[in-house]
């Protein structure tokens, strides 16, 4: 209830979407795949088609390969079938949830190699933009990279880190790291910058925007710097943090953040458009 109140506040008094009445203690529901309408499957196909066309040359190779193997272009996928394939690949499963769930439950799922995927799909009017995560964002954006062994291990570490952060008063900081990596992260490739963040991968506009030389910055990921940085939830990001590879993400997320949280509590947060002395936009002049 407290959680629902918090989210309702965040979204301007609007009620949280999704049906929480049948959720269990871990906020898991039945997907009820047979209940999706033909209109919903058709909207999924339209969303999928647009994103699929934008992905080549923009998404990282790991995402592109896994997405193709998922064969999810025909309609909203049956989570059970995906879970079977995912479990064989990396030991992860996906669980159906009504929408945003409390942090404790969210982190607990990740720490146990379960990824929560929202069951409902946006309306046609929300084709380009949606505030809360829906099944298209959660599935198209997040599920493919769970097939990558290193990324999959990193997500589990993040879940464990989240449970720890809740006890240490570090949740705001860890949430910023999640935002700038799992949701809006870029990765270096021999061919140039590529996208691995789910918030970008499931967005028509930002997938094009984020790799261009725009007013937004593209800087190498430094965890403490990232955790200090505020983020935008209602516009394109003003800063993108770039990793070398998924191994860096795993190694940077695994340490004990207790001392870092203590240092961060002593300093002010940085605005989303900060460029510190010595930092340079990796796309400047391109």
Contact segment (CB under 6 A) with ligand HBI among 11-19, 31-39, 78-86, 95-103 equals 95-103
268 touches 262 (CB < 8 A): no
CA angle 201, 205, 208 (to 5 degrees): 75
| Partner in contact with 97, chosen from ligand HBI, Fe ion, none, beta carbon below 5 to 8 Å by kind | ligand HBI
Kindly state whether residue 119 participates in binding ligand HBI, applying the rule CB under 6 A.
no
Instruction: Quote the CA–CA distance of 285 and 31 in Å, as a whole number.
Output: 48
What angle in degrees, to the nearest 10, is found between the helix axes of 149-168 and 103-111?
140
Number of residues that bind Fe ion (CB under 5 A): 2
Options 111, 187, 195, 198; binder of Fe ion; rule CB under 5 A: 198
Residue reference for tokens 């935008």? 232
Options 29, 97, 221, 282; binder of ligand HBI; rule CB under 6 A: 97
Site mask for ligand HBI (CB under 6 A), range 176-205, x = bound? --x---------------------------
Contact segment (CB under 6 A) with ligand HBI among 35-43, 98-106, 211-219, 260-268 equals 98-106
What is the footprint of ligand HBI within residues 12-71 (CB under 6 A)?
none
Options 36, 44, 63, 106; binder of ligand HBI; rule CB under 6 A: 106
What is the footprint of ligand HBI within residues 211-250 (CB under 6 A)?
none
| Partner in contact with 159, chosen from ligand HBI, Fe ion, none, beta carbon below 5 to 8 Å by kind | none
Kindly state whether residue 172 participates in binding ligand HBI, applying the rule CB under 6 A.
no
Instruction: Quote the CA–CA distance of 186 and 60 in Å, as a whole number.
Output: 9
First to last CA, the chain: 49
Instruction: Quote the CA–CA distance of 70 and 167 in Å, as a whole number.
Output: 37
User: For the residues of 219-264, what is the DSSP string, one character each?
Assistant: EE--HHHHHTB---SSS--SEEEEES-HHHHHHHHSS--HHHHHHH
Instruction: Quote the CA–CA distance of 114 and 260 in Å, as a whole number.
Output: 27
Kindly state whether residue 117 participates in binding Fe ion, applying the rule CB under 5 A.
no
Instruction: Quote the CA–CA distance of 4 and 109 in Å, as a whole number.
Output: 19
Kindly state whether residue 145 participates in binding ligand HBI, applying the rule CB under 6 A.
no
| Partner in contact with 116, chosen from Fe ion, ligand HBI, none, beta carbon below 5 to 8 Å by kind | ligand HBI
Contact positions vs Fe ion (CB under 5 A): 133, 198
Contact positions vs ligand HBI (CB under 6 A): 97, 100-101, 103, 106, 116, 118, 133, 175, 178
């Amino acid at each position: 209830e407290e959680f629902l109140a918090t989210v309702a506040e965040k979204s301007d008094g609007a009620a949280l979407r999704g049906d929480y009445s049948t959720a269990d203690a871990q906020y898991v529901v039945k997907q009820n795949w047979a209940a999706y309408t033909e209109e919903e499957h058709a909207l999924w196909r339209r969303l999928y088609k647009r994103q699929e066309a934008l992905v080549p040359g923009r998404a990282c190779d790991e995402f592109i390969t896994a997405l193709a193997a998922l064969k999810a272009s025909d309609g909203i996928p049956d989570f059970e079938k995906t879970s079977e394939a995912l479990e064989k690949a990396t030991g992860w499963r996906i669980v159906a949830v009504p929408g945003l769930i409390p942090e404790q439950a969210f982190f607990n799922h990740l720490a146990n190699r379960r990824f929560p995927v929202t069951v409902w799909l946006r309306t046609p009017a929300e084709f380009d933009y949606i505030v809360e995560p829906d099944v298209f964002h959660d599935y198209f954006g997040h599920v493919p990279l769970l097939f990558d062994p290193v990324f999959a291990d990193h997500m589990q570490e993040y879940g464990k880190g989240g449970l720890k952060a809740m006890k240490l008063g570090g949740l705001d900081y860890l949430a910023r790291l999640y935002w700038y990596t799992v949701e809006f992260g870029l990765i270096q490739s021999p061919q140039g910058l590529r996208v691995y963040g789910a918030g970008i991968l499931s967005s028509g506009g930002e997938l094009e925007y984020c790799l261009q030389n725009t007013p937004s910055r593209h800087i190498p990921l430094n965890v403490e710097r990232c955790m200090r940085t505020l983020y935008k939830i209602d516009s394109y990001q003003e800063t993108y943090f770039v990793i070398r590879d998924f191994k860096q993400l795993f190694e940077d997320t695994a340490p004990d953040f207790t001392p870092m949280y203590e240092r961060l509590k002593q300093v002010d947060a940085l605005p989303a458009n900060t460029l510190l002395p010595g930092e340079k936009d990796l796309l400047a002049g391109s």
